[in-house]
Structure 1
Amino acid sequence: MISRKLKIAMVCYPNMTLLDLLGPETVFSRFADIHLVWKTLESLSTDTNVSINPNCTFADCPDDLDIVFVPGGPGSIAIMSDAEVLSFIREKSRDSRFVTSVCTGSLILAAAGLLKGARATTHWSVRDELAMMGAIVVNERVVVDGNRITGGGITSGIDFGLEVVALVIGEDAAKATTLFLEYDPKPPFASGTPELAGEKVVRMLSPEISQVKKGIAEAIAKVNRLGLGRVDC
């Protein structure tokens, strides 16, 4: 546990999932100086009509970080083979206390070679792909393995953030944050996992998921071909 403000670098990129970033950021903001980092300070589109403005470039990001965080989203497919981004994440992860992700951000960590042999989770639709990239995939909402902390799909970012706060600052701080956010979810439909949703509902997403899987397969092949971070399929 620490009493000072945390230093957190949250990697941003075009077409990321906004909630992947904002869920954890909302939790962390009570305890941290947050660097929203990208190659430039230009505004970035997300998967919604809301844009994100980075406040720190890769070049200006501090070294003494407590947490490196990577969100997921449609844009993660391109980032998986972006040598500059992967190099930045590897470099900052070397000395960071924790290396973390939510949703398909775990695929970016894996592409950087940071999840080999580590227990990790991701969005339910790409668990097989994460396993092919060397991670030990666990079907849980948040997974902690040493200093690697990964969250599942999209909305798990809040759970992830609270788990990190409990681990780094303390359980009381996490409980108080949970209360402040009035985080007591009661979803109107019990279909938040494939097991709960059932085959019919899962099939409704099949075309979209198939496209995602195709893009990720191509990204893995590119990572291997360019030698960006060896991924054994």
Structure 2
Amino acid sequence: MIPPETHLQIGSLLFEGLDQIDLTGPFEVLSRIPNSTYRIYGPSSEPVRDLRGLRITPDAALTEAPRLDVLHIPGGQGQEALMRDAAVLGWIRSQAAGASHVFSVCTGALLLGAAGLLIGRRATTYWNAVDLLPWFGAQPVDARVVIDRDADGRTWLFAAGVTAGIDGALRLAAELRGDDAARAIQLGMQYAPEPPFDSGTPLSAPPAIVAQVRAAAAGITARRAATARAIAAELGIPTPEAAAGDAR
């Protein structure tokens, strides 16, 4: 836990085509953390639209962001367009280097991977992209929230898909201000989910539904896989197939 008298600078990345819940779910938590300033930063100060068309305006451009204590990277299909964006990836690297906590949601983890920040880490991401994590040098973990720590104390939190960002943000709030502060935030949000169907993971959903969702995402899934393979080659990360062969 960080001393309560320490003011925290918390910032989220905003980009065209993100999944707004990856941003706004954690926003509900992170914006309530005591003694902190929360801001949203985009490649420019212009509004963007999420993948369903919701218009969102950043507080400022990336270049105007202070050194952040907490860096939040959401995901969504628009993530793919940033996997080769030198300015955005450079900003992520720079901010992550100075932050005490780095938090990704969904395929935001792939942006950390493209920035070379997943090598040797335990991580998770959206269920339909988790198999790509080894291409970025990460060890995939089948969990809704995964926490990994550096020797110097920097903490990395990875939330799985979309709504898992709320769970991850509450874990982050507890890391920053203690369990009771996180509990108070959870109560203030009345976050006590009772989903009407047990269909929130590929293991619990009916096979026909899983196949339907995979088919609908086939295009972006293939593009993500191609990008992951190319970045693995550039970063000198052994392919998962080669690693499996070495293990045999």
- TM-score (ref. length: structure 1): 0.93
Q: 2:128 aligns with which of 125, 130, 134?
A: 125
SS class of match (1:101): strand
Q: CA deviation at 1:219?
A: 2.2
Choose which of 48, 61, 81 in structure 2 pairs with 1:57. Answer: 61
Tell me how far 1:95 sits from its aligned partner: 1.1
Query: Which amino acid letter does the alignment assign opposite residue 17 of structure 1?
Result: D
Partner residue of 1:103 out of 106, 117, 138: 106
In structure 2, C-alpha distance between the alignment counterparts of 1:14 and 1:200, rounded to whole Å = 31
Q: Is the 8 A contact 2:126 2:161 kept in 1?
A: yes
User: Amino acid of the residue matched to residue 17 of structure 2?
Assistant: N
Report if the CA contact (8 A) 2:124-2:142 is conserved.
yes
- Greater displacement, 188-197 / 52-61: 52-61
Question: Matches of 1:205 and 1:15 in 2, distance apart?
Answer: 19
If the length of structure 2 is used for normalisation, what is the TM-score? Answer: 0.88
Q: What percentage of residue pairs aligned between the two structures are identical?
A: 35
Equivalent AA in structure 1 for residue 223 of structure 2:
G
140, 164, 174: which one aligns with 2:172: 164
> 1:216 maps to which residue?
224
Could you tell me which amino acid in structure 2 is paired with residue 117 of structure 1?
G
CA contact (8 A) 2:130 2:140 kept: yes
One-letter code aligned to 1:103: C
Call closer, same or farther: CA 1:82–1:224 in 2, change over 3 Å: farther
> Shift of the alpha carbon at 1:157?
0.9
* Partner residue, 2:52: 48
| Structure 1 residues 152 and 88: alpha-carbon distance in aligned structure 2, compared to 1, 3 A threshold | same
1:38 match: 42
AA in 1 matched with 2:51: D
2:200 alignment partner, one of 168, 184, 192: 192
Secondary structure at 2:11's aligned position in 1?
strand
In structure 1, the partner of 2:22 is: 20
Q: Give the length in aligned residue pairs.
A: 230
Residues 134 and 231, structure 1, Cα contact 8 Å, conserved in 2: yes
Partner of 2:184: 176
Which of 134, 143, 149 is the aligned partner of 2:157? 149
SS in 2 for 1:202: helix
Give structure 2 stretches of 5+ with no counterpart.
150-154, 240-248
Runs of 4+ in 1 over 6 A off after TM superposition: none
Q: 1:7-39, CA deviations, whole angstroms, 9 ceiling, x for partnerless residues?
A: 112111110000000011110111231121122
Change (3 A) 1:28 1:189: same
Note the aligned Cα RMSD (angstroms).
Answer: 1.5
Query: What SS does the aligned partner of 1:34 have?
Result: strand
